[in-house]
Every structure is written in C-alpha cells, then in structure tokens.
Structure 1
C-alpha cells in the first residue's frame, strides 16, 4: 500500500464530517482535546459511526490525571469498551500503565478480553501512554503479543514526535517485526509534515491542532488544512 494514512482528531459530528469530506482516512473520536483526549459520549459515538463511511476509532480514557486507573475506573472503562464495541466502530484507542511506569498487562488483558467478548474483529490502538515508559522497545514487544492490538500511537517517547525523528525508523522496524503499525503523533505541523515523513518512512500520521482553524486546538477542523495535509502525504509517495 503506497498511501500514507491520515488520521484526524474529531471532537464533534461536524468535525467528523469535515474530516471525511476533506480526505482523512479515519478519525480518532475524543472529547476534551485540551486534556489530551478523553472518552466521548456513547450517543456521539453511535451517531458518527452511523453517518460516516471512513473508519471511526474512539478513545477509552476516563481522566487525564495519569494513565493509571484504579479498580472503579477500570470497571467504567470496561463498560465503555463493551458499549462502544457494539456501535460498529473500527477500533478502540486505549492504554494503561502501572505504578512503576510500565504497561499494566493485567489491566490491558481485561480490556482486550472485554472488547473481544463483544467483537473478535475489533482492533485496538495503544495510545501515547507508551511514551511515558522508560524503554519503548520492550513495550512494543509486549504489545505485539496481542493480535487485536494493531497500532501504536506514539511520539517516539518525546514530547514532540519531531524530537524523535532520528529514532523513528528503528521504532517502525521494531513494530513491524510484531505485525504492528506505528502512528506518528504529537507536534506535527503542516510545515514539518513532509520532511518528517520523508525522513522516517512512517506510513500513518495523526494530526490534531495542525488541521484546525488557525492551528488552534479549541477551534473546529479546517477542511483546507486537511486537504493540504492529504496533498503533502500523497506527494511523499510519488
């Protein structure tokens, strides 16, 4: 596949329709973008899944304080997972760490089981919780054990993915060894998108404020900016 996939953050039905019409390959549906993205409402999930033709991935994240979740929070996440799985969406986006800053594999297994109990074809993206672990490679290997986890959204362990550009090709190769795709996200702009893609060879990118009006995280998506991003990505494979 030559096409580089463009994932766009959507927070409203309007965002979702703009993203699809402007050329996004899929959306990541969240609320509270200013907090890094939290679980959207079930009503909005069901509406958008029913109205869009491109894949919808939805966030499972009950709060932004950390990526550690107590028993009550995990039960809430499991409920959301089950409800969302029934909505017909393409994938869930989640991640969970333990008190030592490692992937909480026990909690992760519970979440994967809840998703699989509803739909065995539901894909999982492990999100940027992975950027808080000490060493990305063992975490990538761990996630590769689970067949329903197909993607990892990451900034390469740095605050901005641009700071990890040199390391990204090796991370991509490590992920591919475990049948995982890396989605590059956090810090990409329309001005840096082409050079980053050409330098790293990444095949999937995740854009938020870069494709919003005035580049402002609080404003709606901008169709022209999404179209510009699409043209940039298409030029990278020609």
Structure 2
C-alpha cells in the first residue's frame, strides 16, 4: 500500500468523528428551555431518572434519543458526515453511554475541510494514473487551449527541475473532459450517464477550488456534499490496477 492509498484509507476509515465532536452538555428538566435560549441551542439533552432524553426546537415534549442517531465516538468522520448533514446532528457514545454531540455547525471545522480536500486530491491522483495507463491518446480529448495550458505548466515545472509529465499538469476539469469523451466514464459504472458524470466532476471541481482557497462558505449545502463523496468512492472502487495503488 503506497502513500496515496494510505492517505485515502486514512480519510475514509481512520479520521474519527471525535475530531469535530463537542462534549455533551446535559441539562436539568426544570431549566433546559431557558438554557437552550441562553446558549442558542437547537437541541438539548436532558437528564431524567429514566436516562437521557432530547428536545429539539419545535418539539412539544422530551423524547428518547433515537438509536439510529447514535454513533461511536470513534466512527469514521466521513461515514457519519451524511447523517449529520441530513439530520442536523448526531449523538456519540463512548464507554457505553452518550458523551458527545456533532452538529452541522461542526462540519465547518478544519478536520472536515481537510478530509474533503484529501478525498478530492486522491481522486485527482487516481484519475491521472488512469489517463496514463488507459488513455494513451488523451490529448485528443482536450481543447487546443486546455492542452496548451497544460504544456505551459509542464515547461514551467520542468524548468524548476521537477520530475513530472504533462498528465501531472492536467486540472480536474481536464481529467473530466478526458473521461467524458468516448464513453470512458462507463469505466466507473455501466449505469453512469455522461450528464451525471459531467455534473459530478464539475461540482467536485467547485468544491476543490473553494477548499483550496479557504472560502468561508462552500458552494454547496451540507446535504449536497454526500453525493459528491459517493461519486468519489464510486471512482475509487473501479477495478483498476494502478501502479500508484498497489
């Protein structure tokens, strides 16, 4: 397993949701409503004799914490991400009891941005390796302007004694163009359409640019990002024996 695969495995399986979680604040039954207002909380966890209950803004009573809203504190962050995005928050257990909480506001923390950028960077690396191995005439899939831009970047990097090839200088949009042509996107699944592939690659590119430039607000709602992660996983699951992934 090389560095690229190890990086992908780390972000997918070993960066825990604990990295963004907050310790759970437990309120008393007689004060939780005022405490929620004081702290601007959307959710409160309340201790009663029977155990912990929760209350969300808009509810009319305390309810039990749903089993499907509780995850291990050590669960992979990107595995829990879709649940946080969809349900607004999840509860996290450690030592057999709920001890932490992660909300949508926590998704804007550095570990999430690093994980997303890492996923996209690995996608770029793998697509470039696929171009080298599977598309020897990839230049024909790019416009004259895009090919000239890649070659210009290549010459600049070579002048700095960097050991690279022209494929290394392709941008994510260029890679999307290569696999969009000649139905090469079918490598990633027979059911994948060209429109879906093009849309996903364009959106992944937007996400990458926003992350690379540390934009305060990402160009997608949190609920939209899991679809991009699923697309990246689809590409990564392709039966392609890349030298860089052995």
Q: Same-fold call, TM > 0.5?
A: no
More helix by share: 2
Q: Where on the TM-score scale, by shorter chain, does this alignment land: which range?
A: under 0.3
- Tell me the TM-score normalised to structure 2 length: 0.25
The structure with the larger Rg is 2
